[in-house]
């Protein structure tokens, strides 16, 4: 076995261990399930601001002014989806982890949700008539929106693991007669594990606050979530994440699946924050979001392979490459690029690995600079990743022409990066064919 093959095999083993780690699996599954919720919220934000708003939407014009009366409908959808993203994540992670631990019911999700609520404050201070008043038995927005997402994920995993461990102990199960219906018997069988689990979690949250003077959600946000958000919101952080994804792609491993457990919670949280700010008419805080990844660093699919398709159309001399490109162009418009990745191929191809890794780094830098400079709008709407280029840039930024122009520039740049490598590939394949014929 060659040294390169050994290195590839080593990375494959590492990738398998990472992707098969059960907490990684449950987080990925939970966020896949959450995607329609986020898209529904994004649709509401888009309709509210671009159609029904009397300040920024179609309702500005007199014939459509009646649409403004329907704006509360979209506002309520936005509130029910984007403002409860942490609650959904906690519940779904609990269910997915419960399944892996042998629980077929939805109760582990409920257990996770109870445990999470037990560690967050249930009082808020509000200014009423010029003085601060304490309001009790309420759930503040910061505990349901993305700000507490990492705390929710942590509590969900810990609580379900404790519950699963306790549920496996026979001495904690209440035995019911065979005549009792199965669902009632199961409920009583998990009674003591449920009580013990939520008591442990709630006691931990209480003790942590008493000993440190800091609530658990503040500690997790400041120590874990905020530094990660800060790293990923900077250009070096997002480029490093893209590099890791592209590196795994070229050695034969699905790169997006490798970075998804890190990427999804952070980038989906950042676009949710942007959408809430956009709906409220506030300034948009985040440049790096999930749509930013799709619009500037995954045009046509991972590696910005729309540029590769264009380059082959321009300079590809071999009929087999042009045939693969024709087949791949349709899916590529919808950012599905497996046909070109496996057909050219890009995977395990040292020549094509260079532009495949470099191109999204360059286009990501272009997108970031254009957005930071104010030329391209920040993403304010989550659009499906299969939305075609140009359309996704327009919709995700709430109609920013600068974002559309920036994406077009990225497409042109990507084609220019791939072009010399396509020419080299023409020459390499031709030489190989001639050698095979002479043999």
Asked if residue 260 belongs to a domain, the reply is yes
Same-domain status, 266 and 215: no
Same-domain status, 149 and 193: yes
Residue 132 in this model has a pLDDT that exceeds 90: no
Residue 163 in this model has a pLDDT that exceeds 90: yes
Asked if residue 207 belongs to a domain, the reply is yes
Band the pLDDT of 437: cuts 50, 70, 90.
Answer: very low
Distance, in Å, from the CA atom of 225 to the CA atom of 233, rounded to the nearest integer, reads: 12
Band the pLDDT of 19: cuts 50, 70, 90.
Answer: low
Same-domain status, 309 and 418: yes
Asked if residue 335 belongs to a domain, the reply is yes
Residue 179 in this model has a pLDDT that exceeds 70: no
Distance, in Å, from the CA atom of 107 to the CA atom of 313, rounded to the nearest integer, reads: 55
Choice among 74-78, 254-258, 418-422 with the minimum mean pLDDT: 254-258
**According to the model, what pLDDT value does residue 139 have?**
85
What 3-state DSSP class applies to 131? strand
Q: What is the DSSP letter of 285?
A: -
Same-domain status, 209 and 70: yes
Count of beta carbons in the 10 Å neighbourhood of residue 231: 15
**According to the model, what pLDDT value does residue 320 have?**
79
Q: Averaging pLDDT over each range in 23-32, 157-166, 311-320, which range is the top one?
A: 157-166
Count of beta carbons in the 10 Å neighbourhood of residue 4: 11
Same-domain status, 41 and 165: yes
Nearest to 260 by CA among 7, 8, 23: 23
Asked if residue 348 belongs to a domain, the reply is yes
**According to the model, what pLDDT value does residue 14 have?**
67
Same-domain status, 174 and 82: yes
**According to the model, what pLDDT value does residue 30 have?**
92
Residue 431 in this model has a pLDDT that exceeds 60: no
Q: What is the pTM of this model?
A: 0.82
Residue 430 in this model has a pLDDT that exceeds 80: no
- Our CA angle for 206, 209, 211, nearest 5°, is 105
**According to the model, what pLDDT value does residue 7 have?**
61
Asked if residue 420 belongs to a domain, the reply is yes
Same-domain status, 219 and 260: no
Q: Choose the final residue of a domain: 165, 192, 223.
A: 223
Same-domain status, 251 and 155: no
Residue 190 in this model has a pLDDT that exceeds 90: no
Asked if residue 394 belongs to a domain, the reply is yes
Contacts of 62 (CB under 8 A, 6+ apart): none
Q: Which two tokens stand for residue 112?
A: 């996770």
**According to the model, what pLDDT value does residue 180 have?**
63
Q: How many CA atoms lie within 13 A of 371 on its CB side?
A: 30
Asked if residue 3 belongs to a domain, the reply is no
Q: Choose the final residue of a domain: 203, 223, 243.
A: 223
Band the pLDDT of 345: cuts 50, 70, 90.
Answer: confident
Same-domain status, 32 and 66: yes
Same-domain status, 50 and 150: yes
Q: Which domain holds residue 401?
A: 233-434
Same-domain status, 344 and 316: yes
Same-domain status, 251 and 121: no
385, 391, 397, 402: CA torsion to nearest 10 = 130
Q: Averaging pLDDT over each range in 111-125, 203-217, 355-369, which range is the top one?
A: 355-369
Q: Choose the final residue of a domain: 202, 223, 244.
A: 223
Residue 439 in this model has a pLDDT that exceeds 50: no
Taking CA atoms, 179 is separated from 2, 167, 170, 190, 192, in Å, by: 65, 22, 20, 18, 21
Nearest to 343 by CA among 321, 314, 318: 321
Count of structural domains within the chain: 2
Asked if residue 1 belongs to a domain, the reply is no
Average pLDDT along the chain: 87
**According to the model, what pLDDT value does residue 133 have?**
83
Residue 32 in this model has a pLDDT that exceeds 90: no
């Amino acid at each position: 076995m060659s040294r390169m093959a050994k290195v590839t095999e080593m990375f494959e083993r590492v990738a398998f261990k990472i992707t098969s780690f059960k907490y990684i699996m449950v987080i990925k599954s939970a966020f896949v399930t959450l995607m329609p919720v986020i898209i529904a919220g994004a649709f509401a934000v888009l309709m509210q601001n671009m159609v029904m708003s009397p300040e920024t939407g179609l309702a500005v014009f007199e014939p459509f002014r009646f649409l403004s009366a329907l704006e509360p409908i979209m506002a309520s959808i936005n509130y029910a989806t984007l403002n409860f993203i942490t609650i959904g994540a906690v519940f779904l992670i609990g269910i997915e982890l419960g399944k892996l631990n042998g629980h077929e019911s939805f109760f582990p999700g409920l257990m996770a949700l109870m445990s999470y609520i037990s560690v967050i404050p249930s009082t808020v201070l509000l200014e009423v008539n010029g003085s601060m008043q304490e309001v009790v038995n309420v759930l503040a927005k910061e505990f349901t929106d993305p700000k507490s997402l990492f705390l929710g994920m942590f509590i969900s995993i810990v609580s379900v693991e404790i519950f699963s461990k306790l549920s496996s102990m026979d001495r904690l199960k209440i035995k019911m007669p065979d005549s009792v219906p199965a669902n009632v018997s199961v409920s009583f069988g998990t009674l003591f594990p449920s009580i013990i689990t939520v008591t442990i979690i709630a006691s931990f949250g209480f003790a942590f606050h008493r000993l440190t003077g800091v609530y658990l959600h503040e500690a997790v946000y400041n120590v874990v979530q905020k530094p990660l958000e800060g790293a990923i919101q900077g250009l070096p952080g997002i480029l490093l994440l893209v590099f890791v994804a592209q590196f795994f792609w070229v050695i034969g491993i699905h790169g997006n699946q490798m970075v998804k457990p890190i990427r999804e919670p952070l980038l989906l949280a950042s676009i949710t924050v942007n959408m809430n700010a956009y709906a409220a008419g506030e300034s948009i805080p985040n440049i790096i979001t999930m749509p930013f990844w799709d619009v500037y660093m995954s045009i046509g699919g991972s590696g910005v392979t729309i540029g590769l398709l264009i380059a082959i159309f321009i300079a590809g001399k071999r009929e087999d490459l042009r045939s693969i490109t024709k087949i791949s162009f349709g899916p590529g418009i919808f950012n599905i690029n497996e046909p070109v990745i496996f057909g050219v191929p890009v995977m395990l191809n040292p020549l094509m690995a260079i532009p495949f890794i470099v191109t999204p780094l360059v286009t990501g830098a272009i997108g970031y600079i254009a957005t930071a400079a104010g030329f391209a709008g920040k993403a304010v709407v989550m659009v499906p990743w299969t939305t075609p280029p140009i359309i996704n840039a327009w919709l995700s930024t709430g109609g920013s022409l600068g974002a559309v122009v920036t994406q077009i520039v990225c497409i042109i740049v990507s084609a220019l990066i791939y072009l010399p490598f396509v020419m080299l590939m023409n020459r390499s394949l031709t030489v190989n064919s001639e050698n095979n014929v002479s043999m």
